[in-house]
Amino acid sequence: MLINCVAYQKGKKLADIPVAAISDYLEQPECFVWVALRDATVDELAEMQQEFNLHPLAVEDAHHGHQRPKIEEYDDSIFAVMHLIEAGGEQEEPSFGELAIFVGHNYILSVRTGSQQNFLGVRSRCEQEPHLLTLGAGFVFYALMDAVVDRYFPVIDRLESELELIEEKIFAKGTTRSNIERLYELKRQVMRLKHAVAPLMEASGKLYSGRVPVVCAKTRHYFRDVADHLSRVNTSIDAIRDTIGTAIQVNLSMVAIEESEVNKRLAAWAGIFAVATAFAGIWGMNFKAMPELDWPYGYPMALALIATTCGILYRRFKRAGWL
């Protein structure tokens, strides 16, 4: 569906225009058109392709979605794909979507797919800074990209907070299994965030260093700032991944320690009962020449000897921490 279709000239908003009038405004000097679509249909993309003369391969990628984050050049235009990530509530997974952006010298088209996030705040911000909006579609491209990247930080904060809560429960008894399950879930979420950030960080270099596309020539310094934010997010992701790996190893170590404690208890009790079994086995052979069989106090003395020996072993195991 169409969200907005607005024409700007010399940094100021001219009017909300119908799609059919786009080509007329594109012919005006120092004028560009900013269109926003959400979950665009094939017909809507085809109409935009005709109005802006978009490359068919870029249109195909925008229609099919599920693209790797990237920034590609098609002659004098740019096609970018970014992943939209929104932090969920406590114990909720982040939601994921996509934003495809077509940028030319006198137009910018954004196609949002599978996300409830809107960019009305970005449009308002740009309109409040007409001196920057005079830079044209390149500045709007920066503003959209900056908004997408800034929304990664709350996701990082939520992951870090949840990881801290899990770390506080690592040494609590009976939480090992739930901790490991949640840590692996966090690891999966961090990997999805990594897949959204790392390719975009690599691709963004072409917007501010080396041969910069003509569309972004006047805003290259702004894109350097976006790249710096991406670098910070990527560093945080790597730190979280390392912490998750360490936490998983600690949990597995706790499992091994608990198993060792159980094994020691079992071994101690097995040793105590082995002594009693040995005595009972000796006096249970019933040889005729065994003097204890005819002794009136043989039975109580045998029980007393077994109990005393087992008691001594129990005390020694208790002192050693096995019981």
Residues β-bridged to residue 2: 37
Q: How confident is the model at residue 249 (pLDDT cuts 50, 70, 90)?
A: confident
Residue 103's pLDDT band (cuts 50, 70, 90): very high
Q: Walk me through the domains of the chain, giving residue ranges and CATH numbers.
A: 2-254 (3.30.460.20), 255-319 (1.20.58.340)
The HSE-up count of residue 244 (CA atoms within 13 Å, CB side) is 23
- In whole angstroms, what is the distance from residue 77 CA to residue 55 CA? 9
Residue 99: is its pLDDT beyond 80?
yes
The sheet with strand 107-113 has its strands ordered as 12-16, 2-9, 31-38, 107-113, 95-104, 77-86, 70-74
SS3 of residue 114 by DSSP: coil
pLDDT at 134 over 80: yes
Identify the burial level of 242 via C-beta atoms within 10 angstroms of its C-beta, where 0-12 means exposed, 13-18 middle and 19 or more buried: exposed
* Per-residue model confidence (pLDDT) at position 88: 64
CA–CA dist 204, 279 (Å, integer): 80
pLDDT in tens, 263-295: 777 777 787 788 778 777 776 766 666 676 677
Query: Among residues of the chain, what percentage have pLDDT more than 70?
Result: 93
pLDDT > 90: percent of the chain? 17
Burial class (CB in 10 A: 0-12, 13-18, 19+), 64: exposed
Residues contacting residue 213 through CB under 8 Å, at least 6 positions apart: 73, 76, 78, 206, 207
What confidence tier does 91 reach under pLDDT thresholds 50, 70, 90? low
As a whole number of angstroms, the distance between CA 271 and CA 87 comes to: 56
| pLDDT range class, residue 197, cuts 50, 70, 90 | very high
Q: Contact, 112 vs 99, CB < 8 A?
A: yes
Determine the 3-state secondary structure of 94 from DSSP.
coil
pLDDT attached to residue 140:
92
Supply the mean pLDDT for the chain.
84
Model pTM score: 0.78
Q: Which two tokens stand for residue 121?
A: 């705040």
Q: Output the pLDDT for position 169.
A: 80
Residue 102's pLDDT band (cuts 50, 70, 90): very high
